[in-house]
Amino acid sequence: MKATILHESRGRIRLRLQQKQMTLAQADLLEAWLQEKPWIRQVIVHERTCCVILYYDGDRQILLDTLRHFSWSEAERTTSLPAHSSRALNREFEEKLVGKVLCKAACTLFLPSPLRIARILWHTIPFVRRGLGCLFRRRMKVELLDALSISVSVFRKDFGTAGMVMFLLEIGELLEDWTRKKSVADLARCMSLNTDRVWLRTEQGETLVSVSQIRPGDTVVIRAGGIIPMDGLVLEGEVTVNQSSLTGESIPVPKRPGGAVYAGTVVEEGECAFEVKHASGQSRYDQIVRMIEQSEQMKSEAESKAANLADQLVAYTFAGSLLSLLFTRNAAKALSVLMVDFSCALKLAMPLAVLSAMREAGRAHITVKGGKFLEAVAAADTIVFDKTGTLTHACPQVAQVVPFGGKDEQEMLRLAACLEEHFPHSMANAVVAEAKRRGLKHEEYHSKVEYLVAHGIASTVNGEKVLIGSAHFIFEDEQCRIPEGEQERFRALPPEYSHLYLSVGGELAAVICISDPLREETKDVLNELRALGIQRAVMLTGDSRKTAAAIAAQAGVDHFCAEVLPADKAEYISRLRREGHTVLMVGDGINDSPALSEADAGIAISDGAAIAREIADITIAADNLWELVELRRIAMALMKRIHSNYRFVIGFNGMLIALGAAGFLPPAASAALHNLSTLGVSLRSMSNLTSPLSFGEKKG
C-alpha cells in the first residue's frame, strides 16, 4: 500500500492513501485488517478523503513495514467482514439528512409562493392521516398533537409556520431513526457470534479448524458446553440446546437427527454432528437485531417509566392548549402551547441514553444484553464471584502431576488432555496446554466424551471407564477408590494447589495439581467496588476448603463457600435475593450457568464456557477485572443521566408551555425551541457517560 504521512505524533499517525477513491467495502476491510494487529489501539478510516488515523503502541517502524506490505487481495483472503456495515448505514442517513436540508432551502429560495403552498399542503397529508388514526383508535398520542398544530397553522394560512414545523418534525424523525438503528447495529455487532474454531468431521477423523474454513455441506461436531457456530441440520446424535438468546425459551430444546440448529445457540447436554447450511454464521446478526428491537428485555424500568409518562403528558399538553384558547381567545397562544410536548424528548432521550451506555460499555470490552441489566448493576449491593478463572487467572498452569497405582505420569497427562480438550474451562485449558508443552499428542485417544452436570467428565478408553473432575465427583458420586497402600501419599498432596482427580476403571490414577494464582488486581478492584457502593463480596467455589480459604484471604472477600455444586451456587444467590439484596454473579464455567441465570445480572468472563457467555446478561473481557469497576461506573452514570434528563425535559418544556400561553413565544419559535431541546437532550444522551481512564491509570 502506498500512502503519504500527513501528520505524526507519539503513538498517533495520520496517512492519506495514494488512490483516487475508496469504497465503503474497502474502508471496512482496511479497518478490520488493521484492528487485528495487536499493537493497534484504535483505527479511524475516512473513505471520502482516503485518510487513515492510527493510534498504536510499540515500534513505529513495525507499523510502517506492515502498512507497506498491505494488499487488498491478501486482506480479502485473510480478514472476515461483518455482514452489515455501520459505515454504509451512516452514509445512507447522511445523504438523507443533507438531501432534506438542501430540498428545504431550495424550495424556500426558488419556488414561487403558490407552488410552495401546494407543497406544504401535500406534506400535511401524512401528518393528518396519522393524527386521525390516533383519534379513531381513541389514543391520546403525540401524533395527534402534531396533526392538530399543523392543521391549525394551515387553516390560519400561516403556511410558513406549518412548513417549518413539518420540516423540524421530519428532521427529528430522521435523526431518531438514524441514532436508534446505529445504536442497535453497534450493539448487535458486540453480541454477534464470536467462535474462532470448530471440530470438522473429515475422512481422516475430527480436525480442529478455523470457522472461516467451513463451507455449506460440511459436517461439524459440537459437544456439551459448545456454541453452535452456524445454522444447520442434525445428522446424528441427540442434544439439548439452549435457544434463549434467540427465542427467549427458558427450557432447553431437544434436537434429534433432522432437527434444525441455529448459530449462536448452545449445547447444554449431549453431542451431535450437523450439516452446515449457512457457513458464515452471520444470519445471527439479523436475529439479534430483531431480538433487540422486539424484546422487552431491552427495556429498563427507567425506560418503561419514561414511555408511560410521555403518553400521559400528551393529554395535559392538549388540555393546556384548550385552556389557553379559552382564557385568551388567542389562537396563536394556544398553538404555541400545542407545539410543545414532552413525549419526543422522553421517549427518545431515555432509550438513547441506555443504548449509548451499552455502546460505551462495548468500547470497554463489556457486552451488555439489555438496559435493565445496567440498572441492576447500578442498584447492586452484593457481588458474588466464582474462583477459578474469575478471581484467579483465566489461564492457570499445571504445577505437577502425581500418578497413583503405578501409572505413568506422561500417559496420565496425555489421557487427561484427551478428555479436557473438548470443554473450554480454564482448568481444562491448563491440562491441554501442559500436554502440548511436553510434546504429548493425544489424537489417538479420542472417544465419546460426556460432560456430567455434577462437574465431571466421563469417557471409555480401551474398554475402561475414565473419569476426571473434583474430589466430590470422583470419590462421592462415582465411588472411586485410592490404590491400596497409597492413602498416606494421597493425604500429602500439596494443599496450596487446586486438584483435578483422574480415575481409570474405578481407581484413582493421577492427581493433577493446578497452580491458580490470584489476579494481581483483585484486591484493588474489590476495594474500588466497595467505594462505589458494593457492600458485600462473596466467593463460591467447588474447590476444597483449604484452597478456598487461602484464595479468599488473599482476595479480601467478605465471605466464601467451598465445595459447592452448581445448584448450591444458584440457591445461595436465590437466598440473597429473597433477603432483599440486588446480586451480581461473576463466573466463567458451565457449572456457573445456573447461578448466572439466578442473579439480578449475570456477568461472564469472555474466554469461559460458551454456555456461560450465552446465559449471562453481561460479558467482560478475560484480561482484567477492572472492567467490573468500569461497568459499575457506567451504570451509575447512566442512572444519574436519566434522572437529570427527566428534570430537564419536564422543566424546559414546562417553561415553553408557560411562555407560549403568556404570548411571549410565537408558534414557530415554540416548535423550534422544543425540537432543538429534544435534539439537544438526545445528543447529550449519546455522549460519553464517564471520562475514559486506562486500566493502568486505575491500578496506579
Cα 605 to Cα 360, 365, 389, 572, 655, distances in angstroms = 18, 11, 8, 20, 48
Alpha-carbon distance 437 to 150, whole Å?
Answer: 75
Q: So what's the pLDDT on residue 543?
A: 75
Q: So what's the pLDDT on residue 544?
A: 74
Alpha-carbon distance 548 to 215, whole Å?
Answer: 46
**Higher-pLDDT residue of 394, 129:** 129
Task: Please say if the pLDDT value at position 201 is more than 80.
Answer: yes
- For residue 241, the SS3 value is strand
Alpha-carbon distance 32 to 45, whole Å?
Answer: 10
Instruction: At 315, give phi and psi (nearest 5°).
Output: -60, -40
Q: Report how far Cα 463 is from the mean position of its chain's Cα atoms.
A: 45
Q: So what's the pLDDT on residue 459?
A: 86
User: For 454-458, 495-499, 689-693, which range has the lowest pLDDT when averaged over its residues?
Assistant: 689-693
Instruction: Select the highest-mean-pLDDT range: 39-48, 143-152, 648-657.
Output: 39-48
Q: Report how far Cα 255 is from the mean position of its chain's Cα atoms.
A: 27
Cα 147 to Cα 151, 159, 282, 419, 671, distances in angstroms = 6, 14, 42, 68, 13
Structure confidence by residue, pLDDT tens digits, 504-540: 999 999 999 987 788 888 899 999 999 999 999 999 9
Structure confidence by residue, pLDDT tens digits, 312-347: 666 666 676 777 767 766 666 666 666 666 556 666
Structure confidence by residue, pLDDT tens digits, 570-617: 899 999 999 999 999 998 766 677 788 888 888 888 665 555 566 677
DSSP string, 195-239: --EEEEEETTEEEEEEGGG--TT-EEEEETTPBP-SEEEEEEEEE
Split at pLDDT 50, 70, 90, the class of 297 is: very low
Confirm if 359 and 186 have CB atoms less than 8 A apart: yes
Confirm if 559 and 536 have CB atoms less than 8 A apart: yes
Structure confidence by residue, pLDDT tens digits, 673-682: 776 777 777 7
- For residue 107, the SS3 value is helix
Task: Please say if the pLDDT value at position 85 is more than 80.
Answer: no
> Helices H, strands E: what count in the chain?
25, 24
Residues in Cβ contact with 301 at an 8 Å cutoff, skipping those fewer than 6 apart: 372, 375
Complete edge-to-edge strand list for the sheet that includes strand 618-620: 366-368, 618-620, 601-605, 583-587, 382-386, 536-540, 559-561
Task: Please say if the pLDDT value at position 65 is more than 60.
Answer: yes
Q: Which helix (H) or strand (E) holds 508?
A: strand 507-515
Structure confidence by residue, pLDDT tens digits, 150-163: 887 788 787 877 78
Work out the percent of the chain whose per-residue pLDDT is above 70.
Answer: 77
Average pLDDT of the chain is: 79
Alpha-carbon distance 319 to 638, whole Å?
Answer: 33
User: Can you read off the three cell numbers belonging to residue 384?
Assistant: 458474588
Task: State how beta strands 12-17 and 51-56 pair.
Answer: antiparallel
Which spans in 263-300 are helix H?
283-294
Confirm if 498 and 469 have CB atoms less than 8 A apart: no
Structure confidence by residue, pLDDT tens digits, 301-317: 555 566 566 666 666 66
